[in-house]
A and B are shown apart, each in its own frame.
Chain A
Amino acid sequence: MEQLLQQVASGLANGAIYALLALALVMIFVSTNHINFAQGEMAMFSAFVCWQLLNWGYSFWVALPATMLFSFTIGVLIERIILRPLHTAPLLSVVVVFIGLLAIFHSLAGAIWTHTVKPFPSPFPDFSLVHSGIIGPHQIGMVVVAVGMLGLLFCFFRFTPLGLAMRAAALNATSARLVGINVDWMLALGWGLAATVGSVAGVLVAPVVYLEPNMMAGILLYGFAGALVGGISSPGGAVAGGFIVGVLENMVAYLGNMLERATGFYLIGNGEKLTVALIIVITVLTLKPSGLFGHVTVKRV
């Protein structure tokens, strides 16, 4: 029983990361209809920046905000400089640009910080309050920070004029221009915010998977699976989807282990977690492409 709870708890902790990445993907998708394949590598690069700042002796209280600011700026610059000229370009050109970005961030991180795996300190104190054995302090920290971040974003989009303007620009660009909103800047801001959300995910997950240029490869897939499960057009759904995928992958592995222990027959285990994520992606795309919480896009013809 305790083992099951442990698995659920760590699933939620991982799910928090997937939820953040899924949200970052959805934020860009709803306003541009593009999936940013470089989202994971951008988060990885941000985690390296944070590590560098920590290494130079800054505390987390300085390093994390600085990293978020850096990521925000990079996100805005990518949109303004690289994607702006491609606004009317065919989808395939944009996909190629995203893959290019992915490769650039990947090799840049390798060139600057080498491919050696580095440990990343957990920003959370080892508070003894939670020594129940079910969930570790870093895992609790991951969930708290992720949920806090999601709450802040929700309030920003729901209650501030700028958040409302960004939503309006994403929903209907033409109408947004007709009420005087500078849609181009809203897109750039959206990119900046998505990069910031991603950077937090990168920093939170780095102590778990260790720091190296490949660290986000699998995690982005989980995030993508989460976004698809929840509905790629629904920010709330993406968050829920992230948590669902996090718990689900652990449950599958857990049940596989149980099965093996009971019958000696190995069907599925920890090694197949990523496969599970991919199966989820394919199943959702086949059975319910709009996701659990997404809405079907209807085009008037």
Chain B
Amino acid sequence: MSNMLEVKDLKAYYGPSQALHGISFSLSKGGITTLLGANGAGKTTTLRAICGMVRAEGSVIIDGEPVTGKATESVVRLGVGHVPEGRGTFTELSVEENLRVAAYTRRDKAAAARDLEMVFTYFPRLKERMAQQAGTLSGGEQQMLAISRALMLGPRLMLLDEPSFGLAPLIVQEIFRIMRRINEEAKVSMLLVEQNAALALELADHAYVLETGRVVMSGTSAEVRSDEQIRKSYLGY
């Protein structure tokens, strides 16, 4: 089995209401898979369910290890870097502290130091802002910090929740270029949730289209892109 992530019949609940109705998908090692769909389709919930942030049933297997029902921090320690919706930076800590705290659980401090250097090659701007309070960064810089924080975990798998949200098109392009580099150079598999379907399909190799908590279509990015009907009814371009 060479899949980085294997999700089968995943159901998730917010209190009594069910948000995911048994979705299944997989992500190959080194691949980039994107989840597409309108607001409320269950994209963010899927990422949360993988990380044990919502009540979930079904099977989630990360690199051969079943994680359903595990605590968030245990899933994260398997090498899962979750860049959450709204970025989730520690706004009151400095940029440096945000990056340092992300390496808190790592035993190998030399590897963490190497990863910090790697972060600086991807995002040189963060190096200039090390002492600055994270809350004072621009939106684009905060997104860079959120991705960097996930990188400081030394992840095998990254879950990215709308990295383009609220950012200027130029910044979005820059961030997506760097995500491609991270995927290729650091060999990090990625599960990408996006509203911006055109952008996501360009980066990802596989795509799943969700609607109200169910997978309604899947295939390679090229297939999804070329399906006229899917494009019109779900992706809106």
Q: List the interface of chain A (C-beta within 8 A of B).
A: 161, 164-165, 167-168, 171-172, 174-183
Complexed CA–CA distance, A185 and B73 (Å):
12
A181 touches B101 (CB 8 A): yes
Cβ contact within 8 Å between A181 and B73:
yes
Give CA–CA (A179, B100) in the complex, Å.
10
Q: A175 vs B73: C-alpha distance in the bound complex, in angstroms?
A: 10
Query: Which one of B84, B91, B92, B100 lies within 8 Å of A178 (CB-CB)?
Result: B84
Complex contact B90–A165 (CB within 8 A): no
Residues of B within 8 A of A (CB): 51, 53, 71-73, 76-77, 82, 84, 88-93, 97, 100-102, 104-105, 149, 152-153
**Number of A-B pairs, beta carbon distance below 8 Å:** 64
User: Dominant SS at the A interface?
Assistant: helix
B contact patch SS: loop
B104, A181: Cβ atoms closer than 8 Å = yes
Q: A180, B93: Cβ atoms under 8 Å? A: no
The one of B53, B73, B88, B100 in contact with A180, judged by C-beta atoms closer than 8 angstroms, is: B73
| Bound Cα distance from A176 to B53, whole angstroms | 12
Q: CA–CA, A182 to B105, complex, Å?
A: 10
Cα distance A177–B82 in the bound complex, in angstroms: 10
Least CB distance, B103 to chain A, in whole angstroms = 8
Residue of B nearest to A182 (CB): B73
Please, how many angstroms separate the alpha-carbon atoms of A172 and B98 in the complex?
12
- Give B75 Cβ to nearest chain A Cβ, in Å: 9
Give Cα A179 to B93, complex, Å. 14
Nearest chain A CB to B219's CB is how many angstroms away? Answer: 30
A164 with B104: CB separation less than 8 A = yes
Asked if B92 contacts A180 (CB within 8 A), the reply is: no
Which 7 pairs across A and B sit closest by C-beta, in order of nearness?
A180-B105, A175-B88, A177-B72, A180-B76, A179-B102, A168-B101, A180-B77
In angstroms, Cα B34 to Cα A82, docked, is 43
Separation in Å of the A16 CB from the closest CB of chain B? 27
CB distance from A288 to the nearest CB of B (A): 20
Contact check, A179 vs B84: say whether CB atoms are below 8 A apart.
no
